[in-house]
Amino acid sequence: MTDRTNSHLASLLTPAPSRGVQFSQATVLTWDNETLHNTLEWRGITITDIPIVEGINALVIRPGDVVGMLGWAPENAKGVGSWWILGKLSNPGEFVADLNVTAKLFRFVTENGDTLAFFGKEADGDPMWALYYGGSDDQWALRILNGERLAMSYRDGQDILRTSGATGSQYFQVFDQAGNELFSSNGATNGVGMGDPWIPYLVQPTTDAQQLGTTYLPATTSAAFQTIWRGYNPIYHPRVAYGIRILATGTAGWELRMNPDGAGATTVASGSGSAGGIVDVPGFGTTFTPGREVEIIVNARNTGGGTTHIGVDRMYGRQS
C-alpha cells in the first residue's frame, strides 16, 4: 500500500478539528437550579438562557461561578452560531467540600429503577427528602421521610407501623395487614397517652347502694351524695366517655368524680337527669402519667324525699 493511500485513510479515520469550534468561559450572574434559566457575563456582555450539557453540573452551579463554554459555527460563518455551557470550572481541591446540589426532583435508583432516596418537594411545595429500604417502589420495607416520619410495610405495601403529625403533636400507629388501625399513641393532648384502642373501664355498685322497688338499678334515698358506683382502673387515655341513666321520684342529683392515683377526688360532671358526655382526666400528662390508677366514682342523692335509681351504660377511655 502506498504512502498516498495511507494518508488518504488517515484523513478519513481522524478528520482534522473543525475551525468553527471554540472554547471560552463566562461568569454566572443568575442561575435557576430547577428550570436552568440563566444569565451570564461573557466577553463583557450579558447573555441569557444558554443551554447546558446535561448532568450533575447543572445542579451545583451558583451565581459568581466561572463556567466553561463551547461554541460552534459552520465553516466560514461570520461569528459563532451556538454556545453551550460545559460546566463549572474548579481547580483541584477548590469548592468540592462545599458542593451543594439543588433540584426540584432528585432520585437515586437501583438498576431496576426502584427508588433508594428522593430529594425534592411535596405537593404543597414544602421541601421533602426520603430514604427507602427493600422491595420495589410499591413494596418498601422501610421509609424515612424528612428525618421525622417513619413507616414500615408488609410485603404487599400496606403499612405495618408509621409515625405522623407535626412537631409537638406526632403520633405512632400500628396496622393489621388489612389496613385496620390496632394501636395509636396520642398526638393531641401534649402528645401524652394512648389514642386507640378505646378502653372500657370497670365500675360496679357499691355496698352503699340500696335495692329499692322493682328496678334492678342501684338506688339511694339519701339527701346527701352517696357513692353508688365505683371502679379502679389504669388510665391510658386523656379523656373518658360516660353515660348516666336516672329513674327517680322526688329531686334527683348525680355527680361523676375521678381520683387519679389517690391525689384527691375531682368532680368532672354532674346533673339531675340522664346524660352522657366526654370529660378530661384531671392532671393527665402533668401531675398524672398514663398507666397510673384512677378511682372512678358515681354519686347519687335525692333531696325531694324520693328515690334516685342510677345506672351507668358506658364508661371508657378515648383520645378525643
Residue 11 has pLDDT above 50, yes or no: no
Domains of the chain: 3-98 (2.40.50.140), 105-185 (no CATH), 199-318 (2.60.120.260)
Mean pLDDT over the full length of the chain: 84
Stretch among 7-11, 118-122, 147-151, 195-199 having the lowest mean pLDDT: 7-11
If you search the block for the grid coordinates 389517690, which residue do you land on?
Answer: 262
Note the pLDDT tens digit of each residue in 207-234.
Answer: 999 999 999 999 999 999 999 999 999 9
CB-based contact 317:239 (threshold 8 Å): yes
Most confident of 48-57, 101-110, 185-194, 264-273: 264-273
Within 10 angstroms of residue 168's Cβ, the number of other Cβ atoms is 8
**For 120-145, what is the mean pLDDT?**
73
SS3 content of the chain, % helix, strand, coil (to 5): 5, 50, 45
Residue 93's pLDDT band, with cuts at 50, 70 and 90, is: low
Q: How far apart are CA 23 and CA 89, in angstroms?
A: 13
pLDDT band at residue 3, thresholds of 50, 70 and 90?
very low
Can you give the pLDDT at residue 209?
Answer: 94
**DSSP character at residue 217:** S
Q: Is the pLDDT confidence value at 99 over 70?
A: no
Contact 214, 247 (CB under 8 A): no
What would the mean pLDDT of 80-95 be, rounded to a whole number? 77
Q: What is the mean pLDDT of residues 268-295?
A: 94
Distance CA 86, CA 58 (A): 9
Whole-number pLDDT of residue 92: 74
Averaged pLDDT for residues 193-208: 94
Give the residue-averaged pLDDT of 176-189.
87
Cβ-proximal residues to 151 (8 Å cutoff; 6+ apart), any chain: 142, 143, 145, 159, 161, 162, 163
Q: For the CA atoms of 171, 177, 182, 187, what is the dihedral angle to 10 degrees? A: 10
Question: What pLDDT, in 10s, does the model give residues 246-276?
Answer: 999 999 999 999 999 889 999 999 999 999 9
